[in-house]
Structure 1
Amino acid sequence: MDFTELTAGRIAAGVRDGRFSAAAVVEAHLDRIAEVNPRVNAVTVVFDEKARTAAAALDDRIAAGEEPGPLAGVPITVKENIDLTWSATTSGLPFAAGHVPAADATFVGRLLAAGAIPVGRGNMPDIGLRWDTDNDLFGRTRNPWDPDRVPGGSSGGDAVAVATGMAAAGLGNDYGGSLRLPAHAAGIVALRPSAGRVTAPGHAVEPVPLSLQHMAVNGPLARSVADLDLIFGVMHGADDHDPLSVTVEHPSGYDGPRRVAVTVDPAGWGEVDAEVAAAVRAAAGALAAAGWEVDEVEPPAVDRCATIWRQLSSTENAPMLLTPGVFPGPLSAGTVRYFKDNIVDVELLDTSAAYQGAWAERFVHAAAWRRFHSRYPIVLGPVTTQPMPEIGYDLSGPAATTALWRAHRLLVTANFLGLPAVAVPTGLSGRRPLGVQVIARQHGDHIALAAARDIEAAFPAVTPIRPA
């Protein structure tokens, strides 16, 4: 049996009932990392001995008759900006290479207590501010399907690790599509939870920009929607460190209205790749066949939601990144170049009235989406309207950064509104993964997962993949 091809759910079930050991599972994944990672550079730190020790301890507990937890023996990766005491939380920054946290992030601790075993750290762009995965500390992560194209970002390392069988699941975060975009590029699934459902990536208490407070979330990547559901069921819920975290019941299924609003060209901006459009319509057909009522209808104000997301994120990050002495250390030349190009076409909210007005307008659009979701519990559309770009495209000038943002308009709309969304693949075109995303109402994470599960059932799995 090749343990690296098993889903998290199958691994946990096998370890729990004694069909195989956690030690064997971990060893197989460490072997896979040794084989594959030199080609893709997705895993930055490999926890060889710590993972083996944790697996042996878990096997001993099972032999003693103890309850091992719902994620028994599941190998995971943890993104470089999420606190795990096994190694430094670097965010891809060379000057943070020694920043080992004093405690695990709450949701990481929950997964460890449930039996999950970290096998490595996932790569990312420094501080997560590119739709690519490259930094000066660990270098570039390669797309396993096409090494000439980016793997997406910023959770690109974890997505590639899961897609290539180096881990059964990964932990990342999503401020502007950073879970869903790399999952889409890798041909796997990812859940962007509702804002507040998963706690902060660490216990440090410091000033946090409003856009990060309301638009950034932590969540899982995996190779099946059932695994997303399983992992989210363990990691969600409030703690005493994150004042924005909430505990909301996570139902095991969904038995409410089954209506879907399909948008092939969000906001009507055009520039939709033909295969992207076909993937959205194929997913709509899968939902219809599964009993969902499907209408091709536009959700509200995607143009304004995407525009204000870009204005707020750019306005809040500009002083930190571009003012000398504000950020505590140097950023990579690529991140600085990308951000400088990105803000050329952005009307920054550089007055108090403009900034306050943008947040006030967010309330109007959130209310419109709440009404829309009362009619259509699911919005189905593209993750990105264009194929993943070739390496270097995002550094080719302001026009490229604007084109990327336009392609990701529905992606960032979910961030702007704090809504849950699942990226799910719909097959391949040659060696290009195709896929879609489904967006549900706030705290309707279970609804998004239910729709994603019905889409997934209609298409063959495309991972794990051995990189070219």
Structure 2
Amino acid sequence: MTDLTRLTAAEIAGLVAAGETSAVEVTQAHLDRIAAVDERVHAFLHVDTEGALAAARSVDERRAAGEDLGPLAGVPVAVKDVLTTKGVPTTVGSKILEGWRPPYDSTIVERLREAGTVMLGKTNMDEFAMGSSTEYSAYGPTRNPWDLDRIPGGSGGGSAAALAAYEAPLSIGSDTGGSIRQPGAVTGTVGAKPTYGGTSRYGLVAFSSSLDTPGPCARNVLDAALLHQAIGGHDPRDSTSIPAPVPDVVSAAKLGASGDLTGVKLGVVTEFTGEGAEPGVMAAFRESVEALAKLGAEIVEVSCPHFQYALPAYYLIAPSECSSNLARFDGVRFGLRVGDDGNRSLEEVMSLTREAGFGPEVKRRIMVGTYALSSGYYDAYYGQAQKVRTLITRDFTAAFERVDALISPTTPFVAFPIGSRTADPYQMYLADLFTIPTNLYGGPAISVPCGLSEGLPVGFQIMAPTMADDRMYRVAAALESTVGTFTPPAL
């Protein structure tokens, strides 16, 4: 009998639509898989068994009634715990929201339900999406299915690990500085950051409002495109949402899968091919560039000189925005409340609540951001960082006048051992060295597996102009057609 957990999302949807299997059977198979392996992986913070089976039964009833099902109907999906889900715990990986059950769905979750997908539960993440390894979750680290002693990336390591462990065929992440692409790279899965504003932030618990972007994660490019198509598009409840349709990413992925990139011009980012990346990562990247050239792509080198300043600019902008966004967690309206014994002032209760509820990385970034926004330092730090952001945007604009898309490794290194970098925040921040520029610019980018180094996955990043998400899917699918997909050792 076919192992339903090993099928692609497109294959599952086809079988459900044809009546060759039921959505309930598919869902139960994945719930059984979670029960069998998640104690070791810890991809999930909450598994919604009853809700998942109820949603699956609804899909089966609709099919039996002769209704037309969407291209992802009956497909299980895991959701990063940064998106509100009505009646289902949403913690953002933090003790300060432990046990909170939102009274509403985020737009992304609404659209997943409308598409007929089956939400399995909420996945582990670095607290408030602040981290690059999922070690900063208040509920313990997620482990990489390729090597359980290594990190699965972050902040959305749970969403990527669930895919690599065959606990779900699809998952949702959010990308602020690389939190979809970097976990995809180190787990051998596909992670896409849409154009900022191309997917709704309504119901996404905010970290850095000008950077946060929800997006799709999958084990292959076509599945990621199908999920992107389902969740994207304008949302009037999000003031930053772009009032335009989603580019036809599904057709682009199918076109790329033909393996023909004739007429496509790709720019290798010079600043991301020098020192700083592991030799094995660069070797896999160069081999993939040669493979794309054989498919007909024209390869040129493109210099983006201000990319080298992206990391420090990001770590001023993002903490500044988080210090503002996280002020709402005060122990008064919802979530954790500590010290409210009738003898303390409101300020004391707020202080005790935040001390107990926020973890060390969140506190670190709040303090950095508050300092950068303080009187006398705003222009010197936050203001200067925004100027750098403008220069990086100009680099992208100039590059896209010459090429259709930019390419680079996704991360400078493969998955590192758990606990090896937590003592040095700067070494942890370097994990997002190649992904951050795209967030500052606002354009789309995707990570697709391109090889192995020391037996661990290497990611290949494709960056495209804003609202040209289809370009990155075409190139990613073409690369996938020649290098294939990668399967971790059996758990």
TM more than 0.5: yes
Deviation by residue 1:17-37 (Cα, 9 ceiling, x = unmatched): 212111111111011101110
Q: What is the match of residue 359 of structure 1?
A: 386
Q: What is the match of residue 286 of structure 1?
A: 291
Q: Which amino acid aligns with 2:396?
A: W
User: Displacement, 1:187?
Assistant: 0.6
CA contact (8 A) 2:174 2:180 kept: yes
**The one of 409, 426, 439 aligned to 1:382:** 409
User: Displacement, 1:384?
Assistant: 1.3
User: Displacement, 1:422?
Assistant: 0.4
Q: What is the match of residue 168 of structure 2?
A: 167
- How far apart, in 1, do the equivalents of 2:26 and 2:135 lie? 29
Alignment of 1:142-181 (within 5 A): 142-181=143-182
In structure 2, relative to structure 1, the CA distance for the partners of 1:27 and 1:165 (3 Å cut) is same
Q: What is the match of residue 415 of structure 1?
A: 439
CA contact (8 A) 2:270 2:304 kept: no
**The one of 289, 296, 300 aligned to 2:301:** 296
- How far apart, in 1, do the equivalents of 2:218 and 2:100 lie? 28
Query: Among the aligned pairs, what percent are the same residue?
Result: 33
Q: What is the match of residue 394 of structure 1?
A: 421
CA contact (8 A) 1:265 1:272 kept: no
Q: What is the match of residue 188 of structure 1?
A: 189
- How far apart, in 2, do the equivalents of 1:133 and 1:248 lie? 34
**The one of 204, 221, 225 aligned to 2:221:** 225
Alignment of 1:7-46 (within 5 A): 7-46=8-47
User: Displacement, 1:410?
Assistant: 1.7
Aligned residues: 456
CA contact (8 A) 2:145 2:489 kept: yes
User: Displacement, 1:353?
Assistant: 2.3
In structure 2, relative to structure 1, the CA distance for the partners of 1:82 and 1:422 (3 Å cut) is same
CA contact (8 A) 1:311 1:348 kept: yes
Q: Which amino acid aligns with 1:425?
A: P
User: Displacement, 1:438?
Assistant: 0.8
User: Displacement, 1:430?
Assistant: 4.7
CA contact (8 A) 1:78 1:84 kept: no
Alignment of 1:76-87 (within 5 A): 76-87=77-88
- How far apart, in 1, do the equivalents of 2:204 and 2:428 lie? 33
**Aligned pair 1:266/2:272, yes or no?**
yes
**Aligned pair 1:373/2:379, yes or no?**
no
Q: What is the match of residue 446 of structure 1?
A: 470
User: Displacement, 1:62?
Assistant: 0.3
Alignment of 1:64-143 (within 5 A): 64-134=65-135, 137-143=138-144
**Aligned pair 1:335/2:365, yes or no?**
no
Between 295-304 and 220-229, report the one with greater CA deviation.
295-304
User: Displacement, 1:148?
Assistant: 2.1
Secondary structure in structure 2 of the residue aligned to 1:191: strand
- How far apart, in 1, do the equivalents of 2:352 and 2:93 lie? 14
CA contact (8 A) 1:150 1:389 kept: yes
In structure 2, relative to structure 1, the CA distance for the partners of 1:99 and 1:63 (3 Å cut) is same
User: Displacement, 1:365?
Assistant: 2.6
Between 350-359 and 87-96, report the one with greater CA deviation.
350-359
- Name structure 1 gaps, 5 residues minimum: none
- How far apart, in 1, do the equivalents of 2:378 and 2:352 lie? 23
Alignment of 1:414-433 (within 5 A): 414-433=438-457
In structure 2, relative to structure 1, the CA distance for the partners of 1:339 and 1:460 (3 Å cut) is same
RMSD: 2.8
Deviation by residue 1:203-256 (Cα, 9 ceiling, x = unmatched): 88xxx68xx232110001000100111111111112121100113331232799
CA contact (8 A) 1:27 1:52 kept: yes
**Aligned pair 1:248/2:249, yes or no?**
no
Deviation by residue 1:382-414 (Cα, 9 ceiling, x = unmatched): 1111232222233223xxx22343453221111
- How far apart, in 2, do the equivalents of 1:265 and 1:375 lie? 17
User: Displacement, 1:327?
Assistant: 9.8
Q: Which amino acid aligns with 1:123?
A: N
Q: Which amino acid aligns with 2:237?
A: H
Secondary structure in structure 1 of the residue aligned to 2:401: helix
CA contact (8 A) 1:220 1:231 kept: yes
Q: Which amino acid aligns with 2:272?
A: P
TM-score, length-scaled by structure 2? 0.86
Between 423-432 and 285-294, report the one with greater CA deviation.
423-432
Secondary structure in structure 2 of the residue aligned to 1:301: helix
**Aligned pair 1:306/2:311, yes or no?**
yes
**The one of 239, 254, 277 aligned to 2:282:** 277
In structure 2, relative to structure 1, the CA distance for the partners of 1:134 and 1:90 (3 Å cut) is same
Q: Which amino acid aligns with 1:61?
A: R
Q: Which amino acid aligns with 1:225?
A: V
In structure 2, relative to structure 1, the CA distance for the partners of 1:257 and 1:213 (3 Å cut) is farther
TM-score, length-scaled by structure 1? 0.90
- Name structure 2 gaps, 5 residues minimum: 256-260, 328-346
Q: What is the match of residue 234 of structure 2?
A: 238
Secondary structure in structure 2 of the residue aligned to 1:133: coil
User: Displacement, 1:44?
Assistant: 1.4
